[in-house]
Structure 1
């Protein structure tokens, strides 16, 4: 029987998860056409806020703003950059993933809050699939040349993906993660 055209379109989970990989993985995982379509950085962002947003988009920024982490209070600088990102509002990364902002914790820890649509976190196998996708996602994040430099400066990055109100996966990128061979 053919599908009912009036029924809402449902994406199969693996396709949605593949797009999830593209949204947070480094630019090397995304198609060049998709990267060309990415919106420009908002002009009102500081260099450090632009750098943090670039790590979420998988877009190297040339380490713009990194000097704010090498002098003064790095935790305060990271907190201010996250506040800037919150002010610009949610940022759509692709058709299924939205960056809702970031929060910081003492010790140069930045947690990116990412919302995924089209994925049912309560569906059998979803969490298991995400657990198997973690190494692929981490590898993609580490391919962004800005991420290992942040690690050398002692910054821990956490990528927290949620679907609805349920946690899907938390990627923990400690400072030495992307320096490993």
Structure 2
């Protein structure tokens, strides 16, 4: 814990620690999202900030892989242009991108976290199972999995140094 900024020690925590405690990040990201974001962009944002959108926008993903990739790519471009989004005192969504095969990659920054500091990367690795469970608690995520969508959350610290990642494959949340 000593590797996280003062905000964490004071009880304000990054996304992962909020999920550990079962709390969802504040609605700050959704509240700060421009009204012009498409329903699919809001759905993707909801998978990061822990808020279910009631599957708004999911019908745009029921076509084939190519059309779904195109729809996801458009939504990620919207999020990236509109962002970054502050999720809590230490976590920021910088943007997302799409790889072929319905794979969405979210870029998250943990503000003030030094990846080179002893124990930080190990802590993030040990938190991975808890993060996965927290992500799977969002009722939108298993439905996205049923549509064959893989969600990848990449965390970076100071200087964009990698801290770790969590990948939710299409079948990951079905057993939760």
Tell me the secondary structure at the aligned position of residue 35 of structure 1.
coil
Corresponding residue number in structure 2 for 1:142:
136
Q: CA RMSD in A?
A: 2.4
The unaligned stretches of length 5 or more in structure 1 are 1-9
Write the mapping of 1:81-96 to structure 2, written as runs, cut at 5 A: 81-96=75-90
Separation in structure 1 between the aligned mates of residue 148 and residue 26 of structure 2, nearest angstrom: 28
Partner of 1:152: 146
Superposition TM-score, scaled by structure 1 size: 0.84
Matches of 2:137 and 2:168, distance apart in 1:
12
Unaligned residue ranges in structure 2 (runs of 5+): none
Greater C-alpha radius of gyration: 1
Change in Cα spacing, 1:37 to 1:112, as seen in structure 2 (3 Å) is: closer
Post-superposition shift, 1:84? 0.7
CA distance in 2, matches of 1:37, 1:113: 17
C-alpha deviation, 1:11, in angstroms: 2.5
Aligned-pair distance for 1:87? Answer: 1.5
Which residue is 1:45 aligned to? 37
Q: 1:90 offset after TM fit, Å?
A: 0.5
Which of 4, 22, 25 is matched with 1:29 structurally? 22
Task: Give the total of aligned pairs.
Answer: 168
Q: State the partner residue of 1:19.
A: 14
Distance 1:166 1:123 in 2: 11
Q: Secondary structure at the match of 2:143?
A: helix
The separation in 2 between residues aligned to 1:110 and 1:16, in whole angstroms, is 30
1:56 alignment partner in structure 2: 48
Cα separation, 2, equivalents of 1:61 and 1:112: 18
Measure, in 1, the Cα distance between the counterparts of 2:108 and 2:100: 21
Measure, in 2, the Cα distance between the counterparts of 1:43 and 1:143. Answer: 25
CA deviation after TM superposition for structure 1 residue 127, in Å: 1.1
Q: Does the aligned pair in 1 maintain the 2:26–2:87 contact within 8 Å?
A: no
